[in-house]
């Protein structure tokens, strides 16, 4: 199912960027022209997205060859690095041989995928490295670009982080707006536990009183929302192992170790996906190929 989802996403990218034709390449480049291109890292980063790029070119070939009088004769994708590996500035990540029109049509989508996902993986790795000597786990959130969540959460895992719930359908997480409607933390947790006896229940709390409510109601995980360090320490002491504790809100590379030192089990970081900077990668035609 996920493979089919990714395929549909890549097809949408093709429709968005190529549409009916790459008119510039069709005007300038003969159909029989073949070339070799290289994907090159222009800064240091953690690579992510190669499986999606390889799949993308397979789909693109099928899409674009319908406009050719003669189907493209050959295509090859040689990768020199795997996802999760460190890319040093100037490194050649992959070499692609094929029809020049196909290479040019696929250039921007290829780079968009690799730059975005590698940026997420790189930022995640930075957070993970900051607390690698501690027992805390780094989680992502649902703060992703609509439609790209599978890819972006994949990149978090490549960077060494863990995935929080994927979507609304696969885990119970009671947030402040749920509590506002139901009436209290305690009643929200009790109601969820009654309705879904085999599902773990997580609830967000904003103070120590709500934490006590959550624990007494039988919550499995409690999310401490934007609490200061001293309050988090008190929360961990109150919990005393009865529930798992997740810290969330305002996490950055400067304060993550201090947050981790409070003894929380998890730290969820929206910035992994909503604020990751795209890395600098290029794709350049290196030579023409004669048949």
Annotated binding site for substrate: 108, 141-143, 165, 175, 204, 225, 248-250, 269-271
> Which residues touch 168 (CB under 8 Å, ≥6 apart)?
none
CB 139 within 8 A of CB 269: yes
Task: Tell me how far apart the terminal alpha carbons of the chain are, to the nearest angstrom.
Answer: 39
Determine the angle formed by the axes of helices 208-217 and 185-195, rounding to 10 degrees.
30
Q: How far apart are CA 185 and CA 213, in angstroms?
A: 6
Separation CA 81–CA 94 (nearest Å): 7
Beta strand extents in the chain (DSSP E only):
34-41, 45-46, 75-79, 86-87, 92-99, 137-139, 172-174, 201-205, 221-225, 244-248, 266-268, 281-289
Binding-site positions:
108, 141-143, 165, 175, 204, 225, 248-250, 269-271
Contacts of 183 (CB under 8 A, 6+ apart): none
Beta bridge partners of 36: 97, 287
- Cα(242)–Cα(227) distance, integer angstroms: 19
Residue 255 and residue 153: Cα distance in Å, rounded?
23
Determine the Cα–Cα distance for residues 145 and 53; give it in Å rounded to an integer.
Answer: 18
Shortest CA distance to 10 belongs to which of 156, 147, 167, 116?
A: 147
């Amino acid at each position: 199912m996920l493979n089919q989802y990714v395929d549909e996403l890549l097809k949408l990218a093709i429709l968005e960027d190529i549409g009916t034709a790459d008119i510039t390449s069709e005007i300038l480049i003969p159909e029989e022209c073949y070339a070799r291109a290289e994907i090159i890292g222009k800064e240091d980063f953690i690579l992510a997205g190669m499986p999606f790029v390889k799949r993308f070119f397979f789909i693109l070939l099928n899409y674009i060859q319908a406009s050719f009088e003669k189907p493209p004769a050959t295509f090859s994708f040689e990768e020199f690095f795997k996802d999760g590996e460190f890319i040093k500035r100037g490194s050649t990540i992959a070499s692609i041989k094929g029809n020049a029109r196909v290479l040019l049509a696929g250039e921007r989508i290829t780079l968009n995928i690799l730059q975005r996902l590698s940026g997420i993986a790189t930022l995640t790795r930075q957070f993970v490295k900051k607390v690698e000597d501690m027992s805390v786990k780094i989680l992502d959130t649902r703060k992703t670009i609509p439609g790209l969540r599978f890819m972006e959460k994949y990149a978090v895992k490549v960077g060494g982080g863990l995935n929080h719930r994927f979507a609304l359908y696969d885990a119970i997480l009671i947030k402040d707006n749920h509590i506002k409607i139901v009436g209290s933390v305690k009643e929200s947790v009790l109601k969820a536990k009654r309705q879904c006896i085999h599902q773990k229940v997580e609830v967000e709390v904003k103070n120590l009183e709500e934490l006590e409510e959550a624990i007494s109601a039988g919550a499995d995980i409690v999310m401490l929302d934007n609490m200061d360090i001293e309050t988090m320490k008190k929360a961990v002491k109150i919990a005393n192992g009865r529930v798992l504790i997740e810290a969330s809100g305002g996490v950055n590379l400067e304060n993550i170790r201090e947050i981790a030192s409070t003894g929380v089990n998890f730290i969820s970081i929206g910035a992994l996906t909503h604020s990751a900077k795209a890395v600098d990668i290029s794709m350049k035609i290196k030579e023409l190929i004669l048949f």
